[in-house]
Amino acid sequence: MSLTVVGTMAFDEIETPFGKSGRIIGGSATYIAWAASNFVTPINQVSVIGGDFPESELAALKAKGVAMDGVQVKKDEKTFYWSGKYHMDMNTRDSLATDLNVLADFQPVIPESYQGSEFLILGNLTPQVQMSVIDQLKERPKLIVMDTMNFWMEVALDDLLKVLKRVDVLMVNDSEARQLSGEYSLVKAARKILTMGPRYLIIKKGEHGALLFHENHVFFAPAMPLDDVFDPTGAGDTFAGGFIGYLAKTRDISFENMKTAIIVGSAMASFCVEQFGTGRIREVSKEEIHSRIDQFVQLVNFDIDLV
């Protein structure tokens, strides 16, 4: 069993009401790989970085079972850079800068060693790159999950709609679901998006949890109520990594198992927000993960006697 992860490996600069991060490591594929590697290895990473990306970061991920054969290094260019600012409401943020740099003309090449991967997650990046990866796989994976964001809906909607037709699960946040569907009601938005290609839709609502839609079924997972949310950056990707990591580990892609996978994703995301960047998820232990998942079970567990 193996998992292929496509996405950005980045430098981020984040400002929250609690402080500034300075330049730190981020990127959708970075967060996904850190989260998923707690459940499944090897992870086949597909991304692109510049000569300025630290060797030590690649080494740390490799030590967690993440293969880097599909990560292109463009020595003379700069790594993708993103900066964002959160206000008091940490569910919304402003992107201050998105410098594509190496991402602008990235043509992914899937190494032979990645072929036959059963699970594929297309993390947030250029839809054209997401499509190219699907096209290069000789055998269709058992499950293809796709994440995206408003930025790509604005600059590459046609390509994004084409990728949507090829995937099983789409993950977006609530405002992106509204933007993509043109519907305010999330139920109506989901119904519309489920006609665009994916059979499953996950709508993330930040500290208000996540919804899973499939045919006429809906499942809701709360987010862990935490004392402090320090930095929400990467929470969506960490959620995605926990979700697909758990599905790949159990090799069960039923709706029932996806419910559990969403709880696992929510538990992983709850660690991510406790520190800036990847600080917390790179050191979290198996015991801490298990105990957080237990807390989730307690959070939603209740008895009822209908009179």
Contact residues for ligand AMP (CB under 6 A)? 8, 10, 12, 26-28, 82, 98, 124-125, 149, 151, 233-237
Angle among Cα 198, 235, 134 to the nearest 5 degrees reads: 35
- Which residue is nearest to ligand AMP, using beta carbons? 26
CB nearer to ligand AMP: give 74 or 142.
Answer: 74
Residues 190, 198: Cα–Cα separation, whole Å: 10
Pairing between β-strand 169-173 and β-strand 217-221 as defined by DSSP bridges: unpaired
CB nearer to ligand AMP: give 187 or 208.
Answer: 208
Angle between helix axes 55-63 and 28-36 (nearest 10 degrees) is 30
Main-chain phi, psi angles of 273, to 5 degrees: -75, -5
Task: Write down the least CB distance from residue 279 to ligand AMP, Å.
Answer: 13
Task: Write down the least CB distance from residue 130 to ligand AMP, Å.
Answer: 11
Task: Write down the least CB distance from residue 9 to ligand AMP, Å.
Answer: 8
Q: How far is CA 188 from CA 204, 216, 270, in A?
A: 16, 11, 28
Q: Which two tokens stand for residue 206?
A: 């930040």
Q: Which residues pair with 119 in a beta bridge?
A: 3, 143
Task: Write down the least CB distance from residue 251 to ligand AMP, Å.
Answer: 25
CB nearer to ligand AMP: give 172 or 289.
Answer: 172
CB nearer to ligand AMP: give 149 or 201.
Answer: 149
Residues 232, 18: Cα–Cα separation, whole Å: 12
Cis peptide before 232 (omega within 30 of 0): no
CB nearer to ligand AMP: give 237 or 247.
Answer: 237
Task: Write down the least CB distance from residue 139 to ligand AMP, Å.
Answer: 27
